[in-house]
Structure 1
Amino acid sequence: MSTSLAAAYSDSSCRRLERLSGPVAAVVAIGSILLATALSATFTWWASALSDLGTVGTTAWLFNGGLVIGSLVGLPYGWALWTAAADWLGGIRAATFVAALLSMAGVGLFPSGEMLHFPFAIGFFLLCAFTEAADGIARFRLTTGKLSMIVGISSIAIWPLWTGWLAPGSGIAIPEFIGAVLFCLWITALSPERPGSPH
């Protein structure tokens, strides 16, 4: 195999791994959350916050560790987004994606009740929505871009809808989980660097 062919093969293999890292990170994070909810004796979807899973019992290491590991696993996906950026909006999309992952790691490193937990948690959900919306604006001419915009708007809209109308005074685990799932949906099915998307 020639040097140029070997380099092209290596680049292609690295690209596939970078693209795969996002969905793998999503599975790690969502899987750890769901497993922690199943193992917790105190968590309820209607009265709790997801972060409650990171404070007590055997679920703390699972929830917090899953968020930190998921964040680290997904960082190469941010590089894929960055190197594929065609304009400044693409660069913003990549930067906010990485910032969202770092915020997710912060949620795990600073469990609920610690001073830095709240800003990391708020930052995560806002950065997820901003990433999705930035992608929607950048690729609005495409169906996936329009859907990304809808996902970004929905990620924000679920909060006032839930707390102000659907279930005022209840826990926030459900809108938190919806926001996380929408971010995973964007990574795996809508992002320009989703596995299987055109180069």
Structure 2
Amino acid sequence: MNATDSRRLARRCGIVAPLLALGAVFLATLLAAPETFTWRERALSDMGRYGTRTFWLFNGGLVVAGLVGVPFWVHLLAAGRNRLERLGAVLLAVAVFGMVGVGVFFLGHTAFYLERELHFPAALTLFVVAPIAQWTYGTGAILEGDAGLGLVSLWTGNAHLLGWAGWLLSRRAGGDPWAWFAVSEAVAAIAFGSWILVLAGPTQFDDGRAGNRERDAAGRSEAATDAKPVDRTETR
């Protein structure tokens, strides 16, 4: 597989993975029984409890989406133009690892395997690391002069904060401290998935961008060579 084919595969995976994850989650909200999920009274993860009609759809969608996205993440890391973009790509992978963990360590998984409950740490990893990945990558993009991508990354990261702030404010107004928690989860999921779709856009994966990275790397290499001290000792 040549470089062009690899980029094409990575881009397709970057498009399919978030659509698959979001599609599975929101389809599950439509299929879930009222006692399993409501936007006001439940968390999204309640649809992944064993015995619910949405168990396989919800958990399977998250796990498969995470695996499908691996080629995209590998390309994004390799294509990073500076340390912040590469760090953002690594943090993106950590957040996706948390998403996969939500599906693998579903609510009540201790009844089947592992004594330690790992669902909450997995969900926390996803929701905490995802916006940090977006802010980090966005800052790196801005430093490279890519203001459009940088601002999209920063503001989709900010959307997480707005969603959680809305939930905290609703807690003060309502009697149930967990009311509408699923809405904030959905806002975060949409913000993260939308950002990945932007990263997988054609402008991020075209041959011209790849060529520019290669030329930049070559230019840095030549500059480093020119900066080396020259031995002016004459041979007699």
Query: Shared fold by TM > 0.5?
Result: yes
**Helix, strand or coil at the partner of 1:138:** helix
**Conserved 8 A contact 1:75-1:101:** no
**Which of 133, 136, 151 is matched with 2:135 structurally?**
133
Measured on the aligned residues, the alpha-carbon RMSD in Å equals 1.7
**Which of 21, 42, 45 is matched with 2:39 structurally?**
45
Report the TM-score, using the length of structure 2 for normalisation. 0.75
1:150 aligns to what? 155
1:184 aligns to what? 193
- The 5 Å alignment of 1:15-26 reads 15-26=7-18
1:92 aligns to what? 87
> For 1:99-132, what per-residue CA distance to the aligned partner results, in whole angstroms no more than 9, with x for missing partners?
1111111000011245100010011011210111
Q: Which moved more, 1:157-166 or 1:44-53?
A: 157-166
d(CA) in 1 for partners of 2:54, 2:72: 27
**Conserved 8 A contact 1:188-1:195:** no
Deviation, 1:163, is 2.3
Deviation, 1:37, is 1.0
1:3 aligns to what? none
- The 5 Å alignment of 1:46-125 reads 46-55=40-49, 56-114=51-109, 115-125=117-127
Contiguous gaps of at least 5 residues in structure 2? 110-116, 210-236
Deviation, 1:150, is 1.2
Q: Which moved more, 1:160-169 or 1:31-40?
A: 160-169
Q: Structure 2: which amino acid aligns with 1:85? A: G
Deviation, 1:47, is 1.5
Alignment coverage as a number of residue pairs? 189
- What stretches of structure 1 move > 4 A for 4+ residues in a row? none
**Helix, strand or coil at the partner of 1:139:** helix
Q: Structure 2: which amino acid aligns with 1:183? A: F
Deviation, 1:196, is 4.1
Q: Structure 2: which amino acid aligns with 1:185? A: S
1:4 aligns to what? none
**Conserved 8 A contact 1:132-1:149:** yes
Q: Structure 2: which amino acid aligns with 1:151? A: T
Q: Which moved more, 1:164-173 or 1:150-159?
A: 164-173
> For 1:47-70, what per-residue CA distance to the aligned partner results, in whole angstroms no more than 9, with x for missing partners?
110000000422011100000000
**Helix, strand or coil at the partner of 2:62:** helix
Deviation, 1:157, is 3.1
d(CA) in 2 for partners of 1:144, 1:11: 23
d(CA) in 2 for partners of 1:137, 1:29: 26
Identity %: 35
**Conserved 8 A contact 1:45-1:171:** yes
**Which of 18, 26, 30 is matched with 1:34 structurally?**
26
Contiguous gaps of at least 5 residues in structure 1? 1-6
d(CA) in 2 for partners of 1:97, 1:123: 11
